[in-house]
Structure 1
Amino acid sequence: MPTVSTVNLTAPLLLLLLWATHPTMATNWLSLARLPRSRPVSGAAPCARLRGLTPGQVGVCRARGEVMESVRKAAEMVIEECQHQFRNRRWNCSTTARGINVFGRVMNQGTREAAFVHALSSAAVAVAVTRACTRGELERCGCDRKVRGVSPEGFQWSGCSDNLSYGVAFSQTFVDEPERAKGLSAGRPLMNLHNNEAGRKAILHNMQVECKCHGVSGSCELRTCWKVMPPFRRVGVVLKERFDGATEVRLTRIGSRTALLPRDPQVKPPAARDLLYLAPSPDFCHLDPDNGIPGTAGRRCNGTSRLAPDGCELVCCGPGYRAGRAEVVQRCSCKFSWCCSVRCQQCKNTVTIHTCRV
Structure 2
Amino acid sequence: MNPVQRPEMFIIGAQPVCSQLPGLSAGQRKLCQLYQEHMAYIGEGARTGIRECQHQFRQRRWNCSTVDDASVFGRVMQIGSRETAFTYAVSAAGVVNAISRACREGELSTCGCSRAARPKDLPRDWLWGGCGDNVDYGYRFAKEFVDAREREKNFAKGSEEQGRVLMNLQNNEAGRRASTVDVCPDLPGERSEARVLGGRRPSWRRAGATDLSGDYTDLSLGELSTLRSVSSPGSGPSKAVYKTADVACKCHGVSGSCSLKTCWLQLAEFRKVGDQLKEKYDSAAAMRITRRGKLELVNSRFKQPTPEDLVYVDPSPDYCLRDQSTGSLGTQGRLCNKTSEGLDGCALMCCGRGYDQFKSVQTERCHCKFHWCCFVRCKKCTQVVDQFVCK
TM-score where L is the length of structure 2? 0.76
The aligned counterpart of 1:351 is 385
Alignment gaps of 5+ in structure 1: 1-24
Map of 1:1-358 to 2, 5 A cutoff?
25=1, 27-31=2-6, 33-35=7-9, 37=11, 40-42=14-16, 46-98=17-69, 100-148=70-118, 150-151=120-121, 155=126, 157-183=128-154, 185=157, 186-206=162-182, 207-213=245-251, 223-253=261-291, 257-289=292-324, 291-306=326-341, 308-357=342-391
User: 1:291/1:224 Cα in 2 relative to 1: closer, same or farther (>3 Å)?
Assistant: same
The CA distance in 1 between the partners of 2:373 and 2:102, in whole Å, is 37
User: 1:220/1:181 Cα in 2 relative to 1: closer, same or farther (>3 Å)?
Assistant: same
Deviation at 1:262, TM superposition (A): 1.5
Q: Does structure 1 conserve the Cα–Cα contact (< 8 Å) formed by 2:339 and 2:345?
A: yes
User: 1:220/1:29 Cα in 2 relative to 1: closer, same or farther (>3 Å)?
Assistant: closer
User: 1:355/1:49 Cα in 2 relative to 1: closer, same or farther (>3 Å)?
Assistant: same
User: 1:286/1:341 Cα in 2 relative to 1: closer, same or farther (>3 Å)?
Assistant: same
Q: Which amino acid aligns with 1:210?
A: A
Deviates more, 1:323-332 or 1:131-140: 323-332
User: 1:297/1:217 Cα in 2 relative to 1: closer, same or farther (>3 Å)?
Assistant: closer
Deviation sequence 1:18-66 (CA, Å, 0-9, x none): xxxxxxx2x24311x2237389443xxx111112222321121112111
User: 1:76/1:149 Cα in 2 relative to 1: closer, same or farther (>3 Å)?
Assistant: closer
Alignment gaps of 5+ in structure 2: 183-244
Q: Which amino acid aligns with 1:227?
A: L
Amino-acid identity (%): 47
Q: Does structure 1 conserve the Cα–Cα contact (< 8 Å) formed by 2:9 and 2:21?
A: no
The CA distance in 2 between the partners of 1:183 and 1:211, in whole Å, is 47
Higher RCO, Cα 8 Å, sep 6+ = 2
Deviation at 1:146, TM superposition (A): 3.1
Deviation sequence 1:52-106 (CA, Å, 0-9, x none): 22232112111211111111111211221111111111111111122x1100111
User: 1:121/1:149 Cα in 2 relative to 1: closer, same or farther (>3 Å)?
Assistant: closer
SS in 2 for 1:175: helix
The aligned counterpart of 1:6 is none
The CA distance in 1 between the partners of 2:303 and 2:12, in whole Å, is 49
Deviates more, 1:141-150 or 1:231-240: 141-150
TM-score where L is the length of structure 1? 0.83
Q: Does structure 1 conserve the Cα–Cα contact (< 8 Å) formed by 2:181 and 2:267?
A: no
SS in 2 for 1:176: helix
The CA distance in 1 between the partners of 2:14 and 2:118, in whole Å, is 39
Q: Which structure is larger by alpha-carbon Rg, 1 or 2?
A: 1
